[in-house]
Every structure is written in structure tokens, then in C-alpha cells.
């Protein structure tokens, strides 16, 4: 508990230092939004602790969210305000995941049906943006149903694969999930969920033929996506030969690499980067903006926050068994697998996936879904997972 208290004190001092820097060097005083973020996370931490769950992951989440707010405020203050509103909405879903016994819901297929219905409605009535038909408008609210669909399907996979039964049903639902996303031309989430499916399948019962089958399916899907979807082919070419397409499809990749290179060890400094030179910096390439302004050390600190969040989840899962353990593992893989895909795309280790960096990038739909995952994992610690708050200080 003493360590967590020091963490909150350090987080408060960091926020104060950033605000002071903006006031002294740029004449900007935007104090109420960081204050609201601090108060929101402090309230979540107190409620989580009071309910007997492990709140140790919240300080790291708070740092990630505030890093996102800093980057988005640099790009456009409107994005920063939207990030704050998304965090407020996400905190409600965090509490829902924490309080409601969602994992113990007996109708496991309901989660799969919910995910498939969300994707089918989007495929039929959705709106296109960025090459994918992934948006749905209801009245004045515009959101991405695939973000919640990923969470629902990960919960279903954890519950289904924990049973000693046939694998035909989860395979069938996985194929339907992938085909609906292919219909929407939104293949990044399909790859992410399939990787989670393969990992849970092998974790529950490892066999070499399963591993080879998963790798073969990924290879076939990759070749098919490149052949059938022009935007996937464009991303692959931009990944393999960005310099050949410097004025078109490779421009974003090259600008991201330039930003990371110019950041050096300690970065150009907050407010000194060329954030507007990177296309879609508020969604796909926030990692490159942070690397330019905070440097290699800042990037390492960000990745350390994700690693600490994963360690927090593993500590909780270590005390669980059965479907609770697999569901928690699936959600943890979903969150951190997305982090690997996004950062790997910016670093040119793989093609750009077209997804947001968890808790950092702009996007209320993804932010709320990520908070729901966090709340469900935290809620599992109320049922027997290791909780740091239960240990003597």
C-alpha cells in the first residue's frame, strides 16, 4: 500500500509539472481536464479497493491515459476533450465489469451471439471510414461496435475453451466472426481475435498439429487478404518498401520512422515535435508522436506501463482456475496483443494494423471497451485472485 501511495504522489507531481511547463513556456493553462482525470482515477482506485479487488493496475492505466491526453492536446485540444469524455464513459464500464458477475453468466453462447449481432448490424447498416465499414450511428452517437464485439467474443472463447468438449462450435463461430469483419473490410480486429483464439486453444491443450494448423490458417488468411483487399495490399507494400511510395501509401510509415529517429534518447521535448506531419497521428501513430517528443526513454517508460499492467493481470490470474482464468487470459491477450500490433506497425516490424494504441490513442469506442476489459479482470480478483491490497504493507 505504501508503494501505491508513492505512485499516486508521483503521478500527481508529473501532472503538475506538465501543467507548469505549458503555463511557463506556452502560456496555456488547461488545468481542469488533467484535474478531472486525476479525480476520476482516484475515485476508481478507492472504489476498487473498497470492494476488495486489486486496484494495482489503475495507476499504470492513469499514466497511459494521461500520456494520451498530452499527445492529443498537442495535436488538437478537441481530441483531448474527447479523450476525457471517453475516459469518463469508460470508467462506468470499468465499474460494470468490476461489480457485475459477467464471467459467471451461465449462457456462454450469449457472448458469441452478441458479438456476431453487433458485427452483422454494422455490416448491414454501418458507415465507411478509412477503408472499413466499421462505424454505426444511432441518433447522434457514432461508435465502432467491433470494439465491444472483440470483448464479447474473447469472453465467449474463454468460457467455451475451458470446457472439455468439441472444438467444432468455437471454430464455427470464429469463422463467422472473421467473415463478418472481412465483409466490413476491417481485418485488423479479425487478426487480433484469431491470435487470441489460437493462444487460448494452445494454452488449454497444447498439440503440435494445433500449432501448425493455426500458423497455416494465418498464412492462408494473410495471402487471401493481400489478394482480395486493395487496402491490405497497400499496407503490405508500405511496410515492405515505404521509400518506393514516399509520396503516397508509404508516407505515413516514413514520417513515423523520421519522428522516432529525431526523438533520439530523450526526445525533442514536449511541444517541439512536428505532430501534424504524421497522418492519423491521433489514432494510428500516437506512439510515433510520443517517441519524437519524449525519445527512447519515454517510449521505454510507456512500454513499461503496459508490461506492468500485464504483470498485474497475471498476478490475478495466478490465483484462478477454469473459465475465470481463461477469460481473464483472453482479455489480457486482447489488450496487450493490440499494443504489440500497433507498436509493431509504427516500428515497421509488421504492416500497420489500423487500430488504436490502448488507453493512449483517440477513440471513445476503443477506450470504453478497454476499460470494460480492465474492470472484468479487476473483478476476477474479488473471487480469489491474488490482490496486492490484501497483503500487509
For residue 130, what pLDDT is reported? 67
Question: For residue 241, what are the CA distances in angstroms to 65, 211, 222, 353?
Answer: 33, 30, 18, 17
> Which candidate, 85, 79, 78, 145, places its Cα nearest to that of 115?
145
Residue 316, pLDDT score: 93
Cell numbers found for residue 254: 516514413
Give, in degrees to the nearest 5, the angle at Cα 337 between 142 and 228: 70
Q: By the 8 A CB rule, do 77 and 30 touch?
A: yes
Q: What was the pLDDT predicted at 27?
A: 63
Which range of residues forms the domain containing residue 121?
A: 2-390
Which grid cell sits at 212? 501448425
pLDDT number for residue 335:
95
Instruction: For residue range 134-178, list pLDDT tens digits in order.
Output: 888 887 788 899 999 999 999 999 999 988 777 889 999 999 999
Nearest to 19 by CA among 38, 3, 4: 38
Q: Are residues 225 and 252 in contact, defined by beta-carbon separation less than 8 angstroms?
A: no
Q: What pLDDT does residue 390 have?
A: 40
Other C-beta atoms lying within 10 Å of the C-beta of residue 37:
21
Q: What is the tens place of the pLDDT at every residue in 368-377?
A: 999 999 999 9
Low-confidence ranges of the chain (pLDDT < 70): 1-10, 14, 21-29, 130, 383-393
What is the domain count for the chain? Answer: 1
DSSP letter string, 340-363: HHHHHHHTTSS-----PPTTTSS-
- Residue 244 grid coordinates: 518506393
Q: Label the pairing between strands 132-138 and 127-129.
A: antiparallel
- Radius of gyration of the chain measured on its C-alpha atoms: 21
Question: What does the pLDDT read at residue 30?
Answer: 73
**Which are the contacts of 158, defined by CB distance < 8 A and separation ≥ 6?**
103, 200, 323, 326, 327, 328, 329, 330, 331
Separation between Cα atoms, residue 94 and residue 374, nearest integer Å? 6
- Pick from 145, 153, 211, 148: which is nearest to 178 by CA? 153
pLDDT at 392: 35
Output the CA angle 88-193-198, nearest 5 degrees.
Answer: 140
pLDDT reported for residue 129: 74
Q: How many CB atoms lie under 10 A from the CB of residue 106? A: 6
Secondary structure letter of residue 23 according to DSSP: I
**Rounded Cα–Cα distance for residues 344 and 290 (Å):** 15
In this structure, is the dihedral angle defined by the CA atoms of residues 63, 68, 69 and 71, taken in order, positive or negative?
A: positive
Cβ contacts of 183 within 8 Å, gap of 6 or more:
123, 133
Other Cβ atoms less than 10 A from the Cβ of 245: the count is 16
C-alpha–C-alpha distance, residues 178 and 193, integer Å: 9
Residue 175 confidence (pLDDT): 93
Amino acid at each position: 500500500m505504501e508503494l501505491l501511495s508513492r505512485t499516486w504522489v508521483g503521478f500527481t507531481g508529473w501532472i503538475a509539472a506538465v501543467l507548469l511547463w505549458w503555463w511557463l513556456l506556452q502560456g496555456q493553462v488547461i488545468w481542469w481536464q488533467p484535474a478531472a482525470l486525476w479525480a476520476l482515477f482516484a475515485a476508481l482506485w478507492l472504489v476498487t479497493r473498497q470492494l476488495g479487488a486489486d486496484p494495482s493496475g489503475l495507476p499504470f492505466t492513469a499514466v497511459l491515459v494521461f500520456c494520451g491526453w498530452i499527445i492529443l492536446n498537442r495535436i488538437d485540444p478537441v481530441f483531448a476533450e474527447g479523450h476525457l469524455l471517453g475516459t469518463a464513459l469508460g470508467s462506468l464500464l470499468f465499474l460494470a465489469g468490476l461489480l457485475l458477475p459477467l464471467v459467471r453468466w451461465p449462457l456462454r453462447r450469449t457472448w458469441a451471439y452478441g458479438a456476431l449481432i453487433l458485427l452483422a448490424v454494422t455490416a448491414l447498416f454501418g458507415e465507411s471510414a478509412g477503408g472499413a465499414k466499421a462505424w454505426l450511428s444511432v441518433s447522434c452517437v457514432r461508435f465502432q461496435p467491433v470494439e465491444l464485439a472483440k470483448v464479447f467474443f474473447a469472453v465467449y472463447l474463454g468460457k467455451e475453451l475451458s470446457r472439455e468438449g468439441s472444438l467444432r462450435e468455437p471454430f464455427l463461430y470464429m469463422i463467422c466472426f472473421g467473415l463478418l469483419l472481412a465483409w466490413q473490410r476491417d481485418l485488423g480486429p479479425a487478426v487480433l481475435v484469431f491470435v487470441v483464439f489460437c493462444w487460448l486453444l494452445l494454452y488449454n491443450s497444447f498439440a503440435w498439429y494445433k500449432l501448425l494448423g493455426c500458423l497455416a490458417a494465418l498464412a492462408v488468411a494473410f495471402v487471401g487478404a493481400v489478394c482480395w483487399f486493395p487496402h491490405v495490399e497497400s499496407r503490405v507494400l508500405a511496410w515492405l518498401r515505404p521509400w518506393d511510395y514516399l509520396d503516397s501509401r508509404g508516407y505515413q510509415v516514413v514520417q513515423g520512422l523520421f519522428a522516432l529517429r529525431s526523438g533520439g534518447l530523450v526526445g525533442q521535448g514536449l511541444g517541439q515535435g512536428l505532430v501534424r506531419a504524421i497522418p492519423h497521428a491521433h489514432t494510428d501513430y500516437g506512439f510515433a508522436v510520443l517517441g519524437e517528443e519524449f525519445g527512447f526513454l519515454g517510449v521505454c517508460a510507456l512500454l513499461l506501463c503496459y508490461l506492468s499492467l500485464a504483470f498485474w493481470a497475471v498476478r490475478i490470474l495466478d490465483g484462478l482456475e477454469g473459465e475465470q482464468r481463461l477469460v481473464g487470459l483472453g482479455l489480457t491477450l486482447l489488450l496487450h496483443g493490440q499494443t504489440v500490433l500497433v507498436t509493431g506497425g509504427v516500428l515497421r516490424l509488421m504492416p500497420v494494423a489500423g487500430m488504436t494504441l490502448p488507453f493512449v490513442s483517440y477513440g471513445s469506442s476503443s477506450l470504453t471497451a478497454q476499460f470494460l476489459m480492465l474492470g472484468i479482470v479487476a473483478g476476477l480478483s474479488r473471487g480469489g485472485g491474488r490482490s496486492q491490497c490484501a497483503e500487509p504493507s
